[in-house]
Chain A
Amino acid sequence: MSHHLFILSPSDSPLYSLTHFSSKPVQSVSSPLASNLPSWSTSAFAGTLTSLTGASSATQSHHAQGGGGSGVRMGGGQDRHVIQMIANASLDVIEEVMRRDSAMYLKSVDKFNEWTISAFITPGNFKFLLLHESKNDEGIRSFFNEVWELYVKTTLNPFHTAHTPIRSSVFDTRVRASAKKYL
């Protein structure tokens, strides 16, 4: 069971991303480190095609137990670039919704195969996107709230500009801790 968080600037440039493997439901994940690495091999590309057509993604996600020779696998059995693409594709929907909905937390704003996308829009038009597979409304709300607080603290730093990627290790640790607590 994995979660993917992306923080995007108003011009949609990526500022921060996090992959979190939830410990709550039991599902063995081979090695978070290895699966964090992007893979551009042809086999990974084949995975993209099948998952995009949606034909075999469900079976893939529940039976890909890493381990073997299947190489780089992301939480639900999908590759990193697919995850990124799903997240970015949801921006169209989010921009549509945020024009008429004044809530910052947009829950389950978009869906793609087994992935649900929830979003959080800060007043300054920064977007937090979270890809998740399970329903966890309250947890995600609390998680976004904590990330928001951390994010506001980051922006108050005079050396931070709207388009600087967030590289602070403390920020990273705090977000991970928060993800562990709520997701």
Chain B
Amino acid sequence: MSAYAQPHPRFSVLSSSSLSSADHSSPTSTTRFSYPSAPSINTTLVGSPKPSAVRPNIYDRPLNKTRTAEVSSSAFAFLFSEVVQYTQKRVAGITDLERRLNTLGYRIGTRVLELMVWRTESTGKAPKREIRFLPTLMFIHTQVWRAVFGKPADALEKSVENEDEYMIIDNDPPITRNISVPRDMSSLSCSSYTAGIVEAVLDGLGFPARVTAHNTPTQQYPGRTVILIKFEKSVLEREEAMSAK
């Protein structure tokens, strides 16, 4: 295949970056990202009969979900592993790492929100946004979780001590299933990425909040994670005003 001899510049960038990251990554994971993966990327992407054909424009592609658009969880696990390693090399401490993961998740969250609401609402006559407080939390707990992780979250709780805090609990978050955090970093929760997604969705719908992730392992669920949502004061005031009406 000529694609190997003369790789498209786009893919050569891809493969060279994967090479360099393999060089830097920790010894335990290098074997997983070995070189043969690069050609296989080429075959899947350039596999069309006409290499010279213009790639379809992003505006030509349908937004609806298709079966073939699903990504395997191992592919995502590899990608997320790289994301965490990449981020970790560029930060000073755990707080910083979590903040960066949160920022990356935020970018996902804004897109998830727009896309999933488009998928459910655009066919209807009068598309609606969520504007109430509790329905929004339920929406995140069920729909957003289902869209992102393929299952609803396990619980949605209100903090007893603080009026403005809510918690979404996942007993076994899919994105951290393959992550084992070293003992000296035990306060790190890679679900900060999920926290970023939640923060973006809340922000978009007009409920600004600070969202963080915390490990709360139990005997039964060692991976149990709490996504803690701390709303800004304005959100609660607005909610009070709305329910007073």
Give, as a whole number of angstroms, the nearest-CB distance from A55 to chain B: 38
A contact residues vs B (CB 8 Å cutoff): 10, 98-105, 121-125, 145, 148-158, 161-162, 168, 170-171, 174
15 contacts between A and B (CB under 8 A): A99-B206, A99-B238, A102-B129, A104-B126, A122-B114, A124-B113, A125-B205, A125-B206, A152-B114, A153-B58, A154-B58, A155-B115, A156-B58, A158-B107, A161-B107
- A152 and B63 contact, CB distance less than 8 A: yes
Whose C-beta in chain B lies nearest to the C-beta of A161? B107
Residues of chain B from 58 to 116 with CB closer than 8 A to chain A in the complex: 58-59, 61, 63, 107, 110-111, 113-115
For B163, the chain A residues whose CB sits under 8 A away are: none
A156→B59 CA distance, assembly (Å): 10
Whose C-beta in chain B lies nearest to the C-beta of A126? B114
A155→B111 CA distance, assembly (Å): 6
B121 touches A (CB below 8 Å):
yes
Whose C-beta in chain B lies nearest to the C-beta of A124? B204
B220 touches A (CB below 8 Å):
no
B146 touches A (CB below 8 Å):
no
Whose C-beta in chain B lies nearest to the C-beta of A158? B107
Given A150-B59, A153-B61, A170-B57: A104 in contact with B114 (beta carbons within 8 A): no
Residues of chain B from 171 to 221 with CB closer than 8 A to chain A in the complex: 203-206
Residues of chain B from 112 to 137 with CB closer than 8 A to chain A in the complex: 113-115, 117-118, 121-122, 126-131
For B127, the chain A residues whose CB sits under 8 A away are: 103-105, 145, 148
A25→B59 CA distance, assembly (Å): 30
For A10, the chain B residues whose CB sits under 8 A away are: 203-204
Whose C-beta in chain A lies nearest to the C-beta of B127? A104
Pick from B59, B118, B126: contact of A103, CB under 8 Å: B126
- B58 and A157 contact, CB distance less than 8 A: yes
For B63, the chain A residues whose CB sits under 8 A away are: 149, 152-153, 156
- A171 and B121 contact, CB distance less than 8 A: no
Give, as a whole number of angstroms, the nearest-CB distance from A112 to chain B: 25
B160 touches A (CB below 8 Å):
no
A10→B207 CA distance, assembly (Å): 13
For A123, the chain B residues whose CB sits under 8 A away are: 113-114, 117, 129-130, 204-205
A168→B58 CA distance, assembly (Å): 11
- B115 and A156 contact, CB distance less than 8 A: yes
- B118 and A102 contact, CB distance less than 8 A: no
- A149 and B57 contact, CB distance less than 8 A: no
Whose C-beta in chain B lies nearest to the C-beta of A123? B117
Pick from B107, B111, B130: contact of A102, CB under 8 Å: B130
For A152, the chain B residues whose CB sits under 8 A away are: 63, 114-115, 118
Known: A105-B126, A152-B63, A153-B59. 17 other contacts (CB 8 A): A99-B131, A100-B131, A102-B128, A102-B129, A104-B126, A104-B127, A104-B129, A122-B117, A123-B130, A123-B205, A125-B204, A145-B127, A150-B59, A153-B63, A156-B58, A157-B58, A170-B59
Pick from A104, A149, A156: contact of B128, CB under 8 Å: A104
For A162, the chain B residues whose CB sits under 8 A away are: 110
B1 touches A (CB below 8 Å):
no
- A104 and B111 contact, CB distance less than 8 A: no
Given A100-B242, A123-B117, A123-B204: A155 in contact with B110 (beta carbons within 8 A): yes
A134→B118 CA distance, assembly (Å): 28
Whose C-beta in chain B lies nearest to the C-beta of A146? B122
A179→B242 CA distance, assembly (Å): 37
A23→B41 CA distance, assembly (Å): 49
Given A152-B63, A152-B118: A121 in contact with B238 (beta carbons within 8 A): no
For B242, the chain A residues whose CB sits under 8 A away are: 99-100
A100→B117 CA distance, assembly (Å): 19
Pick from B61, B122, B126, B203: contact of A148, CB under 8 Å: B122
Interface core residue of B61, B63, B118 (most chain A CB under 10 Å): B118
